[in-house]
Amino acid sequence: MEPKFEVDLDINQYFDGEIEQQITVLEDVKPKSLSAECPHCGVYAAMSLDSVVTREPGWKFDLICSCPNCRQSLFAQGEYSDYDPDEDSKVSRVLALYPEFQPVNLPPEIPDKYRGDYREAILIKKISPKASAALSRRILQNIIREEFGIKHRSLAQEIDDFIKLPNVPSYLSSAVDAIRNIGNFAAHPLKDSRTGEIVDVEPGEAEWLIEVLDSLCDFAFVQPEKLKKRKEALNNKLQSMGKPPMKS
Ligand SMILES: [Zn+2]
């Protein structure tokens, strides 16, 4: 993340007795661009500067920028500084950025159809736990339905079937099971019947759902893919040794 500035320098010459002296004066500084990881969409880009306000004293600027990728706005405060005695170099830096960037590193094995909502659920967790929880519940339900073929009228029933699956590890089934208690489904029937509905959340519910999604995605997508790659590697080895492949 670095702001770039356009700098006007003026060279003043004067005579100190017989000796000609030269000093460089910083006349003006203008913010030129700001490259940053967009806090909305996560793309690293040169932001467009929409509006610039100079803050006195010194060379500090309030910058309202927009992301060329998602068109959302961000606010940054940048500073131009000639010289940093600690670094022994010229420095320009971003002093503040809003909204804050939260890196979201989803495993590449998670299919695209879940990634967008999942990313958003993580990003808005603090600003709107209700909306985040609604997104998480919907993704959870979609994964249970599409990846495990379990479909009922209510999420609670689907969870019931899911935790009974023979190969689900106990840490995951307990975590998924707890969604109903932590979300107090009894008091909020909509969470159960219309999972994507935005309704009040219980304390810690949005965070819990994200944790559960993390474990569920690991179980449903990441581990099977790793296993598949390991098998392929072993089979290639067997083949190179002139042996038949493993039984699947
Ligand atoms: Zn963006």
Strands 2-16 and 60-66: unpaired
**Among 4, 66, 75, 63, residue whose Cα is nearest residue 41:** 66
Question: Which pair of structure tokens corresponds to residue 31?
Answer: 């913010």
Per-residue pLDDT tens for 83-123? 655 655 667 888 888 887 777 788 999 999 999 899 889 98
Q: Identify which has the larger pLDDT, 75 or 7.
A: 75
Where does the pLDDT of residue 136 fall: very low under 50, low under 70, confident under 90, or very high at 90 and above? very high
Residue 131 near residue 198 (C-beta atoms within 8 A): yes
Centre of ligand 1 to C-alpha 97, Å, is 13
Residue 79 near residue 58 (C-beta atoms within 8 A): yes
Centre of ligand 1 to C-alpha 155, Å, is 33
- The least confident of 62-76, 136-150, 215-229 is 62-76
Centre of ligand 1 to C-alpha 186, Å, is 39
Centre of ligand 1 to C-alpha 72, Å, is 6
Residue partners of 112: CB distance under 8 A and separation at least 6: none
Q: Is the peptide bond before 57 cis (omega within 30 degrees of 0)?
A: yes
Residue partners of 192: CB distance under 8 A and separation at least 6: 154, 155, 156, 180, 185
In the block, residue with structure tokens 């495993």 = 107
Percent of the chain with pLDDT over 70: 95
Using DSSP's 3-state secondary structure scheme, residue 226 falls into helix
Residue 172 near residue 216 (C-beta atoms within 8 A): yes
Centre of ligand 1 to C-alpha 123, Å, is 13
Centre of ligand 1 to C-alpha 105, Å, is 16
Using DSSP's 3-state secondary structure scheme, residue 244 falls into coil
- The pLDDT of residue 165: 96
- Supply the mean pLDDT for the chain: 87
Centre of ligand 1 to C-alpha 9, Å, is 34
Centre of ligand 1 to C-alpha 73, Å, is 8
Per-residue pLDDT tens for 152-181? 999 999 999 999 999 999 999 999 999 988
Q: CA-CA distance, 163 to 194, in Å (whole number)?
A: 20
Question: Which pair of structure tokens corresponds to residue 93?
Answer: 């830096």
Residue 87 CB neighbour total at 10 angstroms = 9
